[in-house]
Amino acid sequence: MSLETSELASERIARRFVRFFSAAVLFFLVAPVLTVVPLSFNQSTYFSYPMTGVTLGWYEAIVLSPEWRTAIANSFVIGICATGIATVLGTLAAIGISRPSFPFRGVIVPILIAPMIIPIVIVAVSLYLVFAPLHLVNTHIGVILAHATLGAPFVVIIVTARLMAFDTNLSRAATSLGATPLTAFRRVMLPQILPGVATGGIFAFATSFDEVVVILFIGGTEQRTIPRQMWSGIRDQINPTILAMAGFLTIFAVLLFLLIGWLQNRNAPAR
């Protein structure tokens, strides 16, 4: 066997091993979801196999429950508002720190991404201590601002990475032709970084939609979201509607991943 043939065989074996290992890791991550979702159709009130029958009653109970409807509405309203704030502020911050002349970048960048690094309990306690004197606890505005704080770092990181591939000479050319800085940003820079901005916004929305610790500290009954409703259901009375909501969230998460994949594919030619 020639050296070239041996190298090709080794490369094929390595590719097969990587694929097998990736599939094993993916199965390990997805297996809990694959076991939980079928139980949401179980007629029994117990979270265990074997299933005693198939029913859609638990999904119907979610639709008919005022508590679940309020939680769903709060999650979407808070998530959309928090995503809008996080996307705007995170994009502006990313544009600022991506400039070569930006001062104190080494100090400001860790501060911007601190909510991703610091344990969430510490962030929740800190937000409560800041929001309580401002009367923002147990208010929708307080929860929206808190979730925007958690989502902004994702926007900063993703948009900053996108700006690394942006040619700043395009903005200079636009301003030299008479465009104002705002027009140059809107007509030249924004179309180039928009996939990154949208991806960061999706991550910010997912962070808000999935958050439970902060809402326990600064949210009240009127700000009850889906994760808090699920947490309360687990603590107070275990009900299969939690599994039904887990099925809804799984489908929603898959849709978000598909949207992110579409944005990455759209972004690939420019990258």
Q: How much is the pLDDT for 150?
A: 92
Q: How much is the pLDDT for 8?
A: 67
Q: What is the mean pLDDT of residues 64-76?
A: 89
Q: Which residue has the higher pLDDT, 30 or 25?
A: 25
pLDDT band at 85 (very low <50, low <70, confident <90, very high): very high
Q: What is the mean pLDDT of residues 5-17?
A: 76
**For the chain, what percent of residues have pLDDT higher than 90?**
18
Q: Where are the domains of the chain?
A: 65-267
Say yes or no to pLDDT of 1 above 60: no
Verdict on whether the full-model pTM lies above 0.85: no
CA distances from 258 to 26, 121, 153, 165 (A): 16, 31, 22, 24
Give pLDDT tens digits for 156-174. Answer: 998 888 888 777 777 778 8
For residue 110, whether the previous peptide bond is cis, meaning omega lies within 30 degrees of 0, is no
Q: How much is the pLDDT for 252?
A: 84
Q: How much is the pLDDT for 167?
A: 73
Looking at domain 65-267, its CATH superfamily turns out to be MetI-like (1.10.3720.10)
First to last CA, the chain: 41
Q: What is the mean pLDDT of residues 25-49?
A: 77
Are the C-beta atoms of residues 151 and 205 closer than 8 Å to each other? Answer: yes
Structure tokens at 113: 């991404």
Q: How much is the pLDDT for 271?
A: 45
Give pLDDT tens digits for 209-258. Answer: 888 899 989 988 888 888 888 887 777 667 778 888 888 888 888 888 88
What per-residue string of b and e applies to 27-48 under the rule 16 or more CB within 10 Å gives b? Answer: eeeeeeeeeebebbbbeeeeee
Say yes or no to pLDDT of 15 above 50: yes
Say yes or no to pLDDT of 267 above 60: no
Distance of CA 220 to the CA centre of its chain: 23
Q: How much is the pLDDT for 4?
A: 60
